[in-house]
Each structure stands twice: as C-alpha cells, then as structure tokens.
Amino acid sequence: MTGAVAPPQAADRAPALRISHLRKSYLTAGGSTVRAIADLSLTMADGERVAILGPSGCGKSSCLRILAGLDTQFAGTIEWGNERAADASRLRSATVFQGDSTLPWMNVDRNIAIGMSGLRLSTTDVRRRVDRYRDLVGLRDFAKAYPHELSGGMRQRAAIARALATEPLLLLMDEPLAALDAQTRLVMQKELHRIWTQTDSTVVYVTHDIEEAISLCDRLLVMSSRPGRVKAMIESPFSRAIEPLERRRMPAFAEMQAHVWDLVAEEVGQTLVGEATR
Amino acid sequence: MTDAKILLAPAPDDVDPLIAANLRARRMARIRDIALGVGFPIFLLLLWEFAARFNLIDRRFFPGPSTIGASIWTFLSTQAGRELLLGHVQATLLRIGIGYGIGATSGVLLGVVMGLHAPTRAAIAPTLYAIFPVPKIAIYPLMIVIFGLGDASSSALVTLGVFFMTCINTFAGVRYVNPIYHDVADAFRFPPLVRWFRVFIPAAMPSIITGLRLGLGQALVLVVSAEFVSADTGVGRFIWDSWQVLDVPRMFMGLAVVLIFAGLAAIAGSLAETKLIPWNRR
C-alpha cells in the first residue's frame, strides 16, 4: 500500500474494497466527543470473506454503517473496486441487518423486489432475480407469504435474498444470525456458506461470535476495544471450500478458536470477561 | 376473524380428546364473552325500563325504552315522519362527508410531510400542538362569521376537528416509524417515491387509521354541536327542536340515530384495520 510500484494487473483479482485509516467520532447528546474508531485499514480482494470481531463498543457496527452508506461523517478514505461501481444494475453495498428488517406489509417476493428499487433494471430482470435469490435462500414455497407468517430464521432468509438480489459489490452482514436460536444458527451458517459460494460474494461479516467467524470467513479482523483499531488480522487455515460444520470437526478449528479468544479476551477487560464466560 | 372461524367451527371427530376438550373450552369462553358483551347493554335497558315502570325516575324526561320504541314506531310509520327524519339525516351526513373528506385528506398529507421533512416539522409542530387542545366548538362563532350560518360553517368546523386528529396521529406514526426501516431505505438507496409510498406510509398506517377513526368520532361530536347552535336541519337540530317542545321520545329517536352513526363508524374503522393493516393483527 506504501509504494505504487506494483501495477494493479499484478493481482489475481482486483481489490473490491480498500479502507484506509478510517476514523470515526460521535458527538453525544451531552455534547462530548466519543472516539469510536481510531484507525482502521483493510483491503479486500473480490470474493473474499472477512469477519470483523471485537468487544462490544469497539466500533465494528460503526464501520459497517459507514460501509453501508448509512453514515457519511467519517475521516479516512474508502475506495471501491471502481470498474463495476458505475454499473446501475448492482448496488455498491447491500446490508443484512441484525434484527428483523423485512417490511411486514409486503410478501416475500415484494420484500426482495423492493431492494432493487434504486437500481436501473427492467421488470423482467427484477422478476428473474427475485425468482433466483428467493429460491437460493430456500423460500421457494413462501413466495407469497407475509413476514408475520414466517419464522425468525425465514424472515432473515428473506432479508438475505433482498440483499443478494441487488448483486452488491460488497455484502455487509451485521450479526445476521444473532437473533436466531442455536440450532437455526448452525443451519444458517451452512446455508450462508453455500449461498456465498454460489453467488461468489465479497462479504464483510460483523459478529462477536468467534466460532461463527472461523466457520464462515477467510480472514478475521480483530478490533481493539474503543476507540477501535486493527489489533490483529488472522488468516483462516481452512480453504474456502470447506463448509462450516466440517471446519468445526477439524483440529485446526479449536486451535484458532483459542488463539482468537486470547486476542479478544485481552480487549474485553476483566469485568466483561467475567460476563462472557459466565 | 380467522380466530372466530376456527373457534366456532365444530371439532372434527378424530381429534385427540384432550384437544377436543381444549377446543370446547375455548369455544365456551368465546360464546360467554359474546353473550356478556351483548347482554350488558340489554341489562342496562331492562334496568331503565324497570326504573321507569316503578317511577324510580322521572318519566317525563326518561320514559322507558318500550315507550320510546313505541313512539318511534308510530312516528316512522307515517310517510311524513320518515321523510322528516331522512331529511335531517341526509343534511348531517352531507356535512360530515364534506368536512371529513377535506379534513382527513389534508391532515394525512400534512402529517406525512411533517413526519419526513424536518423544516416543515420545525415550522408547524409547535403551532399545531398549541392549537390542538382548544375545543373546536369554541371557534364556531368565528366560523359563522367567515362561512355564514348553515352547511358551510358546520362542515368547516368538522374539517378543522378531523384535520387536527388525523394530522397529529399521522405525524406521530411517520415520525416514530421503527428506525430499521430508515436504515433499510437508506442502505438500499430507495428512490423518494418508494420511500414515501411503500415504506413510511405503510409503516405509519396503524397510526393513520387510528387518526382516521378518532377523527370520525370527532366529526360526529362537532356536527351535532354545530347543528344545535346554527343549522335549520340535521340530526342535532332534530334533537334540539324535540327538546324545546319537550317531545322527549322524539329526542331519544335523534339520540338513537347518533348512536347508529357511531356504531357504523366503529364498524368502518375496524373493517379499515383488517383490510389495510392485516399484518398488524394481534
């Protein structure tokens, strides 16, 4: 990143995203300043899956909101893989939120279709994408169902389909499985792995679940406690093709889990360690 | 409605006896609730009848329901009586219709704009909330000065009352929409029209309908009050005239008409709820 020596063609795949020295401060209601992110840099290759891990309040959600375009007040630069960014048939980023974000007055298909309302697409294209991504997340039989008729996991699938249907350059996920029960979460991890592979998605995955991060991602960015900075960047020992449940059975999994936990625990601080291990 | 259908349907023969007993218990509970809901007003009417028969209340002002019913029947069995009442009803409905139409439309529109556009909100909200608690009937004299006696001033009064009710409810509904919908609209870069008509207005629909329902009640109160004071026609006028000539049964007939209006308004309101916000049913 320091020298402009290497020509961009040298890389296998062009960088999808380059975040340089991102900084973010908030003004509280009381008028004081809170530094959320002190310094965050990250370069992502196309198709890569990066998890952002860190203690509560480390700025991981702030970072995601900035990438999602929900927050435009920040310092530092964010460069997008530019040759496709101008394409009006894809969103630069699409977000899957932590809580239920489906619109209750629309059925599944309409919920997916409305995500594309900001794109320049023909009705046939919208139709085609709705069919494709609704089927991909396993909601084929629930095309006309309303969110209140679906389980939490199914609603989250609809939200995932809505994000995927915009064929985003970057798929942002903010603890998308946090609200689900443990069994559903495991099933959904497997599903996410399959879906990302089929769509060749570039993913930023915010979570505080270490196992989930290792199960799903190629690299783990561990953030320090507030104000957040990059504490460590850990490469996953697993090849991308290995699916979550398989990874959990491999010895390297426990090893990496212990390693990441040590890094996170240092940051969480005594009181929070007590809470997390309770 | 779905619940009622399920609960009132006979249980199939092959169900588990425990579940059958459970279903029966729920059906009984539902029948009991309906019986209580219908039975209580009947009980009140009987009490009234009893009190009138035994002279516990002044029968000149409170004749029993049977006496009132009989004289309503006599009144309505003449062509002239029917036409007279129908004329008054039509006059009232016209005033409500015009006032409600204008008031509800403008109230919802301004409420939505205030909810989504901060400068409009900053400019209008303080004035709106300051004027809202003023009893609308208190400015009726001004309405008469501006619109004259009769239809126009009554409709204007209704418009005003309905406007405030719908505007404030719509505004609150749009303003306090679940913040996640703002995030979705921003993150997916929804165009403005999609934002308004497919996200924020539907999200605020429960509050908008509450405003519309309260507005209808308000309209009824105001139109009858206005007719007491200034109109030559209308159900309010009919009640007031009957009172002035001490034709108490006729006065009660007017009250019954108002009661029917209120009942129809309540039914329209709950129909609107089931049709327009089916996802909001609990």
- What's chain B's average pLDDT? 89
> Nearest-CA neighbor of A117 among B197, B128, B173?
B197
DSSP for B140-163, please give it.
HHHHHHHH-SSHHHHHHHHHHHHH
Calpha distance B93→B237 (Å, rounded): 13
Digit-coded pLDDT (tens) for B39-68: 999 999 999 999 999 988 888 888 889 999
pLDDT of residue B8 exceeding 60, the answer is no
CB contact under 8 A, A118 and B181: no
Instruction: Name which of B183, B203, B280 is nearest A70 (Cβ-Cβ).
Output: B183
pLDDT of residue B236 exceeding 50, the answer is yes
Residue ranges of chain A whose pLDDT lies below 50: 1-11, 270-271, 273-275, 277-278
CA distances from A7 to A4, A11, A12, B43, B186 (A): 7, 8, 12, 91, 36
Write down the pLDDT at residue A1: 39
ipTM reported for the complex, 2 dp: 0.84
Q: Report chain B residues whose CB lies below 8 A from the CB of A176.
A: none
Instruction: Name which of A69, A100, A114 is nearest B187 (Cβ-Cβ).
Output: A69
Instruction: Name which of A69, A106, A146 is nearest B186 (Cβ-Cβ).
Output: A69
**Number of other residues whose CB lies within 10 A of the CB of residue B55:** 8
Q: Report chain A residues whose CB lies below 8 A from the CB of B277.
A: 105
- What number is the average pLDDT over the span B23-49? 93
Distance of CA B134 to the CA centre of its chain: 20
Digit-coded pLDDT (tens) for B195-204: 999 999 999 9
Calpha distance A133→A195 (Å, rounded): 9
Q: Report chain B residues whose CB lies below 8 A from the CB of A91.
A: 188-189
Digit-coded pLDDT (tens) for B160-185: 999 999 999 999 999 999 999 999 99
DSSP for A144-159, please give it.
T--GGGS-HHHHHHHH
CB contact under 8 A, B199 and A103: yes
Strand positions, DSSP E, chain A: 15-27, 33-45, 49-53, 75-80, 93-96, 170-174, 203-206, 219-223, 228-235
Return the structure tokens found at A262.
């040590």
> Between vectors from CA A187 to CA A182 and to CA A193, what angle results, nearest 5°?
125
- What number is the average pLDDT over the span B134-150? 88
Q: Are A124 and A174 in contact (CB under 8 A)?
A: no
Domain residue spans in chain B? 2-57, 68-280
CB contact under 8 A, A117 and B194: yes
Mutation target among A67, A117, A121 for the B interface, most CBs of B within 10 A: A117
For B186, which residue in chain A has the nearest alpha carbon?
Answer: A70
CB contact under 8 A, B183 and A147: no
Contact A274/B at CB under 8 A:
no
CB contact under 8 A, B279 and A148: yes
Q: Report chain A residues whose CB lies below 8 A from the CB of B186.
A: 68-70
Write down the pLDDT at residue A230: 82
Write down the pLDDT at residue B172: 94
Digit-coded pLDDT (tens) for B74-99: 999 999 999 999 999 999 999 999 99
Structural domains in chain A, sorted by start: 38-81+169-268 (3.40.50.300), 103-167 (no CATH)
Q: In a 10 Å sphere around its CB, with 0-12 CB exposed, 13-18 middle and 19+ buried, how is residue B201 labelled? A: buried
Q: Alpha-carbon torsion A177, A178, A180, A181, what sign?
A: positive
CATH classification code of B68-280: 1.10.3720.10
Confidence band, pLDDT 50/70/90 cuts, at residue B206: very high
Calpha distance B235→B254 (Å, rounded): 6
Write down the pLDDT at residue A8: 41
Q: Which residue has the higher pLDDT, B108 or A71?
A: B108
Residue B261 has φ and ψ, to the nearest 5°, of -55, -45
CB contact under 8 A, A97 and B278: no
Return the structure tokens found at A46.
């196309």
Residue in this structure with the two tokens 């792995």, named with its chain if needed: A193
Confidence band, pLDDT 50/70/90 cuts, at residue B13: low
Chain B interface with A: residues with Cβ < 8 Å? 180-181, 183-184, 186-191, 194, 198-199, 202-203, 205, 277-280
Smallest Cα distance from B177 to chain A, Å: 12
For A101, which residue in chain B has the nearest alpha carbon?
Answer: B180
